[in-house]
Amino acid sequence: MNQLEQLKQYTTVVADTGDFQSIKAYAPQDATTNPSLILKAVQKPEYRPLLEKTVADFPKASTGEIIDRLLIAFGVEILKYVPGRVSTEIDAALSFDTQATVAKGRELIALYEAAGVPRERVLIKIASTWEGIRAAEILEREGIHCNLTLLFSLCQAIACAEGGIKLISPFVGRIYDWYKKSTGIEYAGADDPGVQSVKRIYQYYRKFGYATEVMGASFRNTSQILELAGCDLLTISPDLLQKLADSDAPLERKLSAEVDADIQKIAMDEKTFRFMLNEDAMATEKLAEGIRAFVADSNKLKQMIEGMR
């Protein structure tokens, strides 16, 4: 078996793309999207018609409503190629507004259900701010499952687990980027700070029996992926999926039910969350940077749509 096939023995493989053809080629269980990936996709000739059709079908809709419709159109198409779930992201501009995030999550699920997609096949992606986590907690109680993204620290992961969130996406590559820039070190294998962060979260969840799924995300190389074989899920870009498929090197499970006995439980409330996040310069900076980048790409998409009307 190639490495991708070997990985699928231990971990649910998810495609991190809005490209339907890539999803079809690698047969993942689930797929994830974000504003940057959707913006990238609609600039390709093969996906431009989906944008044009969405704009034409809703001539009286606001630009924001058009974007929601476009997200659902991509999600519906993606679900034709995966047997599991698609993650659809809420506008990152709402990252600090709990009630607006709840309202938008309900709207997106309603649009999916109107398109014939049951809510069980959708994960609503929300930034892992305190306000976002609280919004996801409300949505989860309504049977709307969430994927908490832009997650860089243990305090974010604990708050998600205690909120009963379905799934989290710790960002391996962006953590690696920060430490590489900060220290000048090219981390590899088990020494990679992004890998270590996911392992720590995975072990914490196992030790204390949390049901929240851990999905490593934002990979820079296959070494990071191989070090997390055994994680609940890994969402991987098409280029790295191809590299795994091209390699026949043996792959071993690195994460399992065995946990570090020294892990101590942390009581998480808002004050603890905010203090721990503030003490973690990397997590604070990457969370803010990630929200800004997603907002910027959403604005580019809005400008593109407005130019078509």
* Burial bucket for residue 191 (CB in 10 Å: 0-12, 13-18, 19+): exposed
By three-state DSSP, how is residue 31 classified? strand
Collapse the DSSP code of 234 into the 3-class scheme (helix H, G, I; strand E, B; otherwise coil) and give the result.
strand
Structure-block tokens of residue 226? 């191989």
Instruction: Return left, alpha or beta for 178; rule: phi > 0 is left, psi -120 to 50 is alpha, else beta.
Output: alpha
Query: Would you call 125 a catalytic residue per the annotation?
Result: yes
Closest CA to 9 of 231, 297, 247: 231
**What 3-state DSSP class applies to 286?**
helix
In the set 53, 80, 125, 243, the catalytic residue is 125
- Pure H helices in the chain: 3-7, 20-26, 35-42, 48-57, 63-78, 98-114, 130-141, 154-162, 172-183, 193-208, 222-227, 238-246, 270-279, 281-306
CA atoms of 242 and 254, how far apart (whole Å): 21
Could you list the active site residues?
A: 125
